[in-house]
Amino acid sequence: MGTRQIDKSRPFPYNLSGMKKSRLHVLHSRDQIAERVRCLGEQISRDYEGRFPLLVGILKGSFVFLADLMRHLDVPVEVDFVRLASYGASMESSKEVKLTKDLEIPVEGRDVLVVEDIVDSGRTLKELLGELAKRGPRSLKSCCLLDKRHRREVPLEIDYVGFVMDEGFVVGYGLDWAESYRHLPDICVVEPEEESPEESDAGQGVKP
């Protein structure tokens, strides 16, 4: 689990037993995503012309974006995946991120492009880039579909960004809500449930 995980033991403004579809609002439609991914693919293809990059996806959320992005690349690529886990606080970004599933392909001497679905605090991507940098890649860049840069807690330069986004908890196109909704073709914002007056003292101030 990365840092967007939901701690079900804490008060949370969503009903985890089920969610009405009316509470999902499309932020980026499948057509908008497709167009943006196509543009990113063109840009990356130009930048890596004559190279043989290794695409590194961060599980789980990036698998949909990575699958689409790679099909817009006209340079040969290899693909591998890592998984990172965060320890400590739940909804909020914790301070410690560790690699729990390593790459199977060596990165030494390779042009490595890390592909991420969403960057929030930046801790997950920063940790991975730091680890990969130690392994002697020829080059090391990053690409994310959604950049919540106003939430950044660590300095981070991302080389390719799909969309910059503001507040809101998003699902779909690989992004989950308690492991659900990854399959949605659009990127949707989850609207918090309205509180009844009786519930307003329940400490439900956690913002996604």
And the tokens for 154? 């660590």
Alpha helices in the chain (DSSP H): 30-47, 63-70, 123-133
Residue the block writes with tokens 């996604």: 208
Residue 160 CB, nearest distance to ligand PRP (Å)? 16
Of 14 and 76, the one with the shorter C-beta distance to ligand PRP is 14
Nearest-CA neighbor of 116 among 137, 147, 71? Answer: 147
Of 75 and 206, the one with the shorter C-beta distance to ligand PRP is 206
In the set 68, 117, 120, 176, the catalytic residue is 120
Of 40 and 58, the one with the shorter C-beta distance to ligand PRP is 58
Residue nearest to ligand PRP (CB): 2
Compute the distance between CA of residue 95 and CA of residue 93 in angstroms, rounded to an integer: 7
And the tokens for 8? 């079900």
Of 58 and 129, the one with the shorter C-beta distance to ligand PRP is 58
8-state DSSP, 191: P
Residues that bind ligand PRP (CB under 6 A): 1-5, 58-61, 93, 116-124, 176
Residue 40 CB, nearest distance to ligand PRP (Å)? 17
Residue 183 CB, nearest distance to ligand PRP (Å)? 13
And the tokens for 39? 């543009």
Active site residue 120: yes
Residue 147 CB, nearest distance to ligand PRP (Å)? 10
> Torsion angle, CA of 70/187/123/159, rounded to 10 degrees?
40
> Active-site positions?
120
